[in-house]
Amino acid sequence: MTSSSPTVLVFGPYNGDGIAELEKRFTVRKLETRDLSGLSEAERAEVNAVAVAGHIPNSAIDALPHLEIIGHFGVGYDGVDAAHAATRGVAVTNTPDVLTEEVADTTLGLLLMTVRELGRAEEHARSGRWETDGAYPLTRFSLRGKTAGIMGLGRIGLAIAKRLEAFGVTIRYHNRSQRTDVTYGYDDTLEGLAKAVDILIVAAPGGASTEKAVNAAVLGALGSDGIFINIGRGSTVDEPALIEALEKGTIARAGLDVFADEPRIPEALRKLDNVVLLPHVASASRDTRRAMGQLVADNLSAWFAGDALPTTVPESDKAGLTQRKKS
């Protein structure tokens, strides 16, 4: 890219195809760690945009004097304080829609692994135990006749619901507000939803409004035959309470793609055999990650061209940061 093109700082680990896409359009500087101390004052002053997957602290936003926009690689932008960015006139974009179907597919995979023990059954076949020990035991659970409750019936929640309908599962949901465009049963509290269903699925964003929302009371309401699935954010669950519920049989099983302190998963959780653990892979196909990287780059291109941003977050919309002011 020409030296006159805007400078994009890739802040921390980032998808390889996404970096290649940025390099086609911008001057790119990569920072493997989430730490600006390696950049001189002059180098910080060159940065016009940040591309980040996950967390950027406010101190880093504040330390980049010519920062105009942050392109977040991921739809859930709880790692970026977009309201703080707005106070500095910095727009924030995310990557909705392009990952919705992939994440919903993975959720169904995780649900089936959890309910029908497919990972353990596969291991039974692979290890030769089928031949030595006989058939894998019948599973305690089946999807037949079950009701699933979705916390967060948004883009991904709806795509999960559509798939569950095809599986013959009845659907209920809890959002902060009832939707007018669906006929699924609505519960105005999470505990109420947990009480009404066999399977509780979290597809809501992280952040303050959902922090530890799935707590001991919610898990108690789900009950001893209850199944819990989380593909939203680990912060939405009180993880010690979940571990205790799985250990004591307060709920039956869980399938988790996200954790409170990734990539660390508590030992107590890893040793339980009534939980299925995935390493945050719901959107992790090369095609989908490539589409996400493209959307980050498209947002940055639109900004520097003075065009309307394709996918701003609500905090930026509220601050009127949807298009670069013509100078």
Question: Under the rule (CB under 6 A), what is the footprint of ligand NAP?
Answer: 75-76, 96, 99, 103, 151-157, 174-177, 203-206, 209-210, 231-233, 257-258, 280, 282-283
154 binds, among ligand NAP, ligand 8YV, none (CB under 5 to 8 A by kind): ligand NAP
Give me the least distance between CB of 232 and ligand NAP, in Å please. 5
66: annotated active-site residue? no
| Nearest alpha-carbon partner for 101 in 144, 161, 54, 53 | 161
Rounded to 5°, angle at Cα 285 from 274 and 282? 35
> E-assigned strands of 163-248?
170-174, 185-186, 199-202, 227-230
262: annotated active-site residue? yes
Instruction: Find the binding residues for ligand 8YV in span 76-115 (CB under 6 A).
Output: 76, 99
| Nearest alpha-carbon partner for 299 in 281, 283, 282, 321 | 321
54 binds, among ligand NAP, ligand 8YV, none (CB under 5 to 8 A by kind): ligand 8YV
Q: Does 53 bind ligand 8YV (CB under 6 A)?
A: yes
Structure tokens that stand for 197 in this block: 């269903």
Task: Work out which of 9, 61, 75, 91 binds ligand 8YV, going by CB under 6 A.
Answer: 75
* Integer CA distances (angstroms), 194 to 115, 148, 151, 206, 214, in order: 17, 9, 9, 19, 9
Q: Does 283 bind ligand 8YV (CB under 6 A)?
A: yes
290: annotated active-site residue? no
Residue nearer to ligand NAP on the CB measure, 139 or 209: 209
Task: Choose, from 32, 211, 262, 286, the residue flagged as catalytic.
Answer: 262
Q: Which stretch binds ligand 8YV (CB under 6 A): 61-69, 74-82, 218-226, 309-317?
A: 74-82
Structure tokens that stand for 183 in this block: 């006929």
Residue nearer to ligand NAP on the CB measure, 83 or 121: 83
Q: Could you say which DSSP state residue 262 is in?
A: T
Please check whether residue 77 is in contact with residue 59, taking contact to mean a CB–CB distance below 8 angstroms.
no
The residues assigned a catalytic role are 233, 262, 280
